[in-house]
Amino acid sequence: MTSPWSQRRDLSPETSRLLIERAHEELLAGNLGDDRLRDVRALVRESWRRSLDGLVGAEALPPLELDAAAIEEYRRTHPLGGVIEMVRGLLLPGGPDESGVIVAVGDASGRLLWVEGDHRVRTLTGDMGFVEGANWSEAAIGTSAPGTALTLDRSLQIHGAEHFNRLVQPWSCTAAPVHDPETRALLGVIDVTGGIEAATPQAQLLVDATARAIEGELLVSRLRARAESRPARRRTTKPVVATRATLRVLGRDRALLELAGELGETVSELGARHAELLLMLAVHRQGVSAERLAELVYGDPDALVTLRAEMVRLRRALEKVAPALVPVSRPYRMPIELETDAHQVLSLLDRGAHRVALAAYHGDVLPDSTAPGVEEYRDSVRIALREALMAEASLDVLLAFADTAAAADDVEVLTLCLSMLPARSPRRAGLVARIERLQA
């Protein structure tokens, strides 16, 4: 099975590596004004200086701060424990032995809580202390992707010789911080470590997208829990001054409207017709005439009386929860941008994050809706996903797509998967049987 880390490119030519190594030696020798330090990226150079000022050992092992029992207990209560399966699915598809990299998840202090992936790579990196329970903060081990990403609160890559610790210099890594979706407090970090394939632009795109997917999943889980446990309170909550609004329509007939503002977040479940109206206004962001909106929702441009009555009801409903989201007219349009989870999937496809896009695709747009505009948009999202995956996705993503309802009966997708599988793959028989059954 093809690994997402299989695309390699020469990120650190030998001459560049030698320059960085020499600059590192001059730094450790105290020659901070040496011209060769200017050959090092500013981000790395400043991290080296912090490591030096913090008296970090250039060949020291990281402190082991959590034993097995403490790690197990900590995992059960840590917010990232609930999304670890998502991390595995996005960053270690097809099984760890086929990945060629290791994936680590750490807390906000830099302590590694999960380290999984390629057995050979885990064995080698274990010798330098890259193990569960170890502290890989910048203060403990110096410049590294997980520690420096936490220090700077941004995603980044560290290539080979850029590591402060000599023991870590054979490796490259990409890391991104993960934040609480509501408070934006730092929850932890996800990291991919391996050879040069672990620090490519594709690797950073995938790690960044995974971090955002984790934050989105945490928010959705919380909002759903609140909606289920406190429905009465939700009806009496003061209106939210919304600064961000998301309409979740994938795999749902009763859409969820998620609102975030300075006073917090709230979620409201919409009726089918209100979901259709808001979705059409979200799709047609520039605005749409009453006749066109009636055609999109009712299939009849002359159904203006029915449309206006429904828009009055929609406005009244929104005034109770989010006055800033009440649509305006002439033409009908949203006063602030209304994002949808379908738009998010399309954006991920545009950025080449096929695996994350597939994970975010929870089903068709408002699957039971017969509104012409919804049907058209539903088809466009499904087709965009299919075409992008068939044209560019790796084999493991295509196989995952083939197992979804969207592609279960798609002979073309199944045939493409079959053509990409190795001749002796055990999965070939199952695909052949499915294709023959569909063509019978």
303-359 tens-digit pLDDT: 999 999 999 999 998 888 778 888 998 899 998 888 899 998 898 888 777 877 888
Tokens 């670890």 appear where? 84
In angstroms, the CA 145 to CA 211 distance is 14
pLDDT at 232: 40
pLDDT at 228: 67
Residue 241 has pLDDT above 70, yes or no: no
Yes or no: say if 188 and 103 are a contact pair by the CB < 8 Å rule.
Answer: no
pLDDT of residue 238: 55
CATH number listed for the domain at residues 68-226? 3.30.450.40
The whole-angstrom separation of Cα 83 and Cα 21 is 38
- Compute the distance between CA of residue 196 and CA of residue 344 in angstroms, rounded to an integer: 30
**Average of per-residue pLDDT across 59-88:** 90
Of the ranges 52-61, 207-216, 248-257, 353-362, which one carries the lowest mean pLDDT score? Answer: 353-362
pLDDT for 3 beyond 60: no
pLDDT given at position 2? 47
Q: Is a pLDDT exceeding 80 seen at residue 297?
A: yes
pLDDT value, residue 7:
42
pLDDT above 90 for 14: no
Query: Looking at the predicted structure, is the pLDDT value of residue 108 above 70?
Result: yes
As a whole number, mean pLDDT of residues 122-128 equals 87
Summarised one tens digit per residue, pLDDT across range 382-406 is 999 999 999 888 887 888 898 888 8
Q: Is the peptide bond before 426 cis (omega within 30 degrees of 0)?
A: no
Q: What is the mean pLDDT of residues 128-147?
A: 94
Please give the pLDDT value at position 253.
84
The residues facing 258 across adjacent strands are 246, 267
- Comparing 37-41, 57-61, 91-95, the range with the smallest average pLDDT is 91-95
Share of the chain above pLDDT 90, in %: 47
Domain ranges of the chain: 13-54, 68-226, 242-339, 364-439
408-434 tens-digit pLDDT:
899 999 999 999 988 888 888 889 999
Say if strands 172-179 and 156-158 run parallel, antiparallel, or are unpaired: antiparallel
Residue with tokens 């005439």: 289
pLDDT in the model for residue 10: 43
- The Cα 314–Cα 316 span in angstroms is 5
Confidence of residue 224 (pLDDT cuts 50, 70, 90): confident
What is residue 235's predicted lDDT score, i.e. its pLDDT? 38
State which fold the 242-339 domain adopts: Arc Repressor Mutant, subunit A (1.10.10)
pLDDT of residue 365: 94
Query: H or E element: which one contains 339?
Result: strand 338-340
Question: Is residue 269 a contact partner of residue 300, using CB atoms and an 8 Å limit?
Answer: no
Answer whether residue 94 shows pLDDT above 80.
no
pLDDT-derived band at 12 (thresholds 50, 70, 90) equals very low
Encoded tokens for 290 = 């009453």
pTM over 0.75: no
Output the average pLDDT for the chain: 86
Burial 80-110 (b: 16+ CB within 10 A, else e): beebbebbbbbbbbbebebbbbbbbbbbbeb
Average pLDDT, integer, range 107-126:
92
Torsion of CA 314, 315, 316, 317, to 10 degrees: 50
Instruction: State the pLDDT confidence band at 273, using cuts at 50, 70 and 90.
Output: very high
